[in-house]
Amino acid sequence: MEQTHLILQERYVIQTVLGRGGFATTYLAEDTRSGHSVAIKCLSFEHIDEWKTWELAEREAKVLKHLHHPQIPDYIDFFTREHSDQLEVYLVQEFVEGKNLAQWVKEGRHFSETEVVRIALSLAGVLEYLQHRSPPIIHRDIKPSNIILTYDNRPYLIDFGAVRDQLLSERTRLMGGVTIVGTYGYMPLEQFEGRPVPNSDIFSLGMTLIYLLSHREPADIDKKGLKLNFRPVVHISAGFARILDKMIEPDHTRRYPSATALKRDLENLQQRRVPYIPVGTPKFWLPVLGVILLFLVLMVRPDRPPVAPEDTPSTSNITRQSSRSTENTPAPEYKPTIPEGNPVVKGQLRFDGQPVHRLTSAIPRFWFRNEDSGKAYTANAVYLGESQFAIYDLPAGRFGISVNIDANPANPSSYPGDFRAWEVFQVTEQRPLYLEIDLQQIIRLLAPQDNDRVLKGWGAVCDNEVVITSPVTFRWESLGEGVYYDYAIQLIGCPYESKRSIAGETTPRTTLELNLPPNAANEFYLLTLYARKNGRRIGMLMTHGANGYGWDYRFRVR
């Protein structure tokens, strides 16, 4: 499948190609039910030499369906499609906006030791989750290109070929032979010999961290025997160097036995408050450092409380002409009712990278759905003020949370100027979960109709869409400087079938004029519109009509 802007399953609007590799193509698409972006991997049998792979791909999806971790993109859907006499298999997952670590390095980003330790600790938590599965799951291909780092520096582990290859190995045991999976330079010896173990992933993670610190592929760094001699090409503390040494031990019996053990050492390293001592520091500096330590101890007096950092001033230039202005208006006193017991989830609501309370004092509303059953779920969610919230009374399981902030008192809820978000998360029995939920603001469409009210002519699918004369002018309110808008116009055939893409691009403009051909009686046009800033999605179009609401605008042309 090469065409973009197709609609699959009457739900997913294909937007662009994210990447190609081997026998799969990954697309960025829009889930019209949730309004969220998704990543769709398409597996075409044109590139596969045996139909047995279909069965294995189906089983892979079933395994991924049960992986629920905040830093593993969520499984959403799995389906097939016949196209040009070929069978295509689709795996739909949560889209993570960011760049993989290889891209960050190629663009010239240099990571500090603090940043790399934070990334290592976060990914060790992912490996700990995988190793605690029954049976343990081995990723087998951890490398810079398979770790996405978001723009707020949160790492995600992607491309779970390990699950697929674990299933392929079942076939190998039945049919004979050895399946070698992984990437040269990041793959430990036992994996190269076809005998991976759970801590093989720790070796691969260690090599990835060295790549971040040195900007060199492991194959380009000298070795001492079988072990990588990374110390001359990195500038890190002796403590972190010892951790890396143990991560990349060629003999897996001398490596960290588990991600839990690795996490413990990384946490200890992070908690230490000793001066930075680079690898290779001459010993004559040690007495000087001792004097510095003594001076610091004397300076830190018990009766001197720690100074909290001042809040970072808001840098957002978001303009919301239809929204309530909070300038010079004191926020009403808000006193939340805190239930007894400990929350199972804590979190923060953010917009454009900053806490949302800096933009509005409106109180958010929460709604939950059990993602396993698909049914609404009643949970006790409390807004604590200053963008913080807590959730009580949720059992272990996978849930979706809808957040709605009615920031504009001039119109009903979920209209232009208001904020919305949908987030899926996993509740476990081990520890409380912390969520950072990124909100999107509803864009105000000014022409050809104003979505600040119920739209006339907006009815059931293929029924009573408003008729407009071509050329058609689309205009919407700006969400501020530095914002880009992704729009797409599809030609839809009734009852709801995508025929072809008419127009679509990313633009900083807020006005479009398009010459659109007249529709046939059984066709209509569909416009989708989203806003992005600094790599984050911050806005979306939403329309209301007598038949409900939608994440698009539908019309006919005469």
Q: Per-residue pLDDT tens for 388-415?
A: 999 998 888 888 899 999 998 888 888 9
pLDDT-derived band at 201 (thresholds 50, 70, 90) equals very high
CATH code, domain with 178:
1.10.510.10
pLDDT-derived band at 387 (thresholds 50, 70, 90) equals very high
* Residues 420 and 466 placed together within one structural domain of the fold: no
Q: What is the pLDDT of residue 1?
A: 55
User: If you search the block for the tokens 């939920």, which residue do you land on?
Assistant: 437
Domain that residue 497 falls in: 444-557
CATH code, domain with 491:
2.60.40
pLDDT-derived band at 546 (thresholds 50, 70, 90) equals low
Strand order in the sheet with 36-44: 7-8, 12-21, 24-31, 36-44, 86-94, 75-83
pLDDT-derived band at 381 (thresholds 50, 70, 90) equals very high
CA distance 192 to 181: 8
How are beta strands 440-443 and 223-224 bridged, if at all?
Answer: unpaired
* Residues 258 and 403 placed together within one structural domain of the fold: no
Model pLDDT for residues 4-52, shown as the tens digit of each residue = 678 898 899 999 888 876 667 889 999 988 888 999 988 876 555 545 5
Q: Chain centroid to CA 434: how far?
A: 15
Between 166-170, 264-268, 550-554, the lowest mean confidence (pLDDT) is in 166-170
DSSP 237: B
Mean pLDDT of 127-132: 91
* Residues 183 and 249 placed together within one structural domain of the fold: yes
* Residues 126 and 208 placed together within one structural domain of the fold: yes
Mean pLDDT of 157-180: 51
Between 107-121, 284-298, 427-441, the lowest mean confidence (pLDDT) is in 284-298
Q: What is the pLDDT of residue 465?
A: 61
* Residues 188 and 60 placed together within one structural domain of the fold: no
* Residues 216 and 126 placed together within one structural domain of the fold: yes
Q: Is the pLDDT of residue 285 over 90?
A: no
Q: Is residue 206 part of a domain?
A: yes
* Residues 241 and 125 placed together within one structural domain of the fold: yes
Q: Is the pLDDT of residue 121 over 50?
A: yes
CA distance 162 to 197: 12
Q: Is the pLDDT of residue 170 over 80?
A: no
pLDDT-derived band at 61 (thresholds 50, 70, 90) equals confident
* Residues 208 and 106 placed together within one structural domain of the fold: yes
Looking at 271, 297, 314, which one is the last position of a domain? 271
Model pLDDT for residues 499-540, shown as the tens digit of each residue = 777 888 888 999 999 999 998 888 888 898 999 887 788 999
Q: What is the pLDDT of residue 493?
A: 82
Model pLDDT for residues 408-467, shown as the tens digit of each residue = 888 888 899 999 998 888 888 766 788 899 999 999 999 999 999 888 765 555 665 678
Between 185-189, 204-208, 253-257, the lowest mean confidence (pLDDT) is in 185-189
Q: What is the mean pLDDT of the chain?
A: 80
Query: For every residue of 191-230, which 3-state class applies, written as one string?
Result: HHCCCCCCCHHHHHHHHHHHHHHHCCCHHHCCEECCEECC
Q: What is the pLDDT of residue 118?
A: 94
pLDDT-derived band at 320 (thresholds 50, 70, 90) equals very low
* Residues 248 and 139 placed together within one structural domain of the fold: yes
Q: Is residue 337 part of a domain?
A: no
Q: Is residue 484 part of a domain?
A: yes
User: Which helix (H) or strand (E) segment is 102 a member of?
Assistant: helix 101-106
CA distance 465 to 514: 18
Q: What is the pLDDT of residue 424?
A: 84
Calculate what percentage of the chain has a pLDDT beyond 90. Answer: 40
CA distance 82 to 89: 9
Q: Is residue 331 part of a domain?
A: no
* Residues 54 and 186 placed together within one structural domain of the fold: no
Q: What is the pLDDT of residue 295?
A: 42
Q: Give the residue from 146, 418, 113, 106 showing the smallest Cα distance to 272.
A: 113
User: If you search the block for the tokens 């290109």, which residue do you land on?
Assistant: 145
Q: What is the pLDDT of residue 431?
A: 65
Q: Is residue 289 part of a domain?
A: no
DSSP 415: S
- Half-sphere exposure for 315 (CA within 13 Å, toward CB): 8
CA distance 503 to 70: 35
Looking at 440, 457, 476, which one is the last position of a domain? 440
Q: Is residue 332 part of a domain?
A: no
Mean pLDDT of 89-113: 91
pLDDT-derived band at 169 (thresholds 50, 70, 90) equals very low
* Residues 156 and 238 placed together within one structural domain of the fold: yes
Mean pLDDT of 49-60: 59
Task: Kindly calculate the radius of gyration of the chain based on its CA atoms and give it in whole angstroms.
Answer: 26
Spatial neighbors of 94 by CB under 8 A, at least 6 apart, are: 36, 38, 39, 73, 74, 76, 424
Q: What is the pLDDT of residue 230?
A: 96
Say what the pTM is: 0.51
Mean pLDDT of 324-352: 73
Q: Is residue 137 part of a domain?
A: yes
pLDDT-derived band at 190 (thresholds 50, 70, 90) equals confident
Better-scored residue on pLDDT, 164 or 41:
41
Q: Are 441 and 538 in contact (CB under 8 A)?
A: yes
Q: Is the pLDDT of residue 380 over 50?
A: yes
Q: Is the pLDDT of residue 496 over 80?
A: no
CB atoms within 10 A of CB 407: 26
Q: What is the pLDDT of residue 51?
A: 55
Which residues are identified as catalytic?
Answer: 141
CA distance 150 to 200: 25
CA distance 117 to 124: 10
* Residues 139 and 253 placed together within one structural domain of the fold: yes
Phi first, then psi: give them for residue 375, nearest 5 degrees: -110, 155
Overall domain count for the chain = 4
Calculate what percentage of the chain has a pLDDT beyond 70. Answer: 77
Q: What is the pLDDT of residue 14?
A: 93
Q: Is residue 493 part of a domain?
A: yes
CATH code, domain with 35:
3.30.200.20
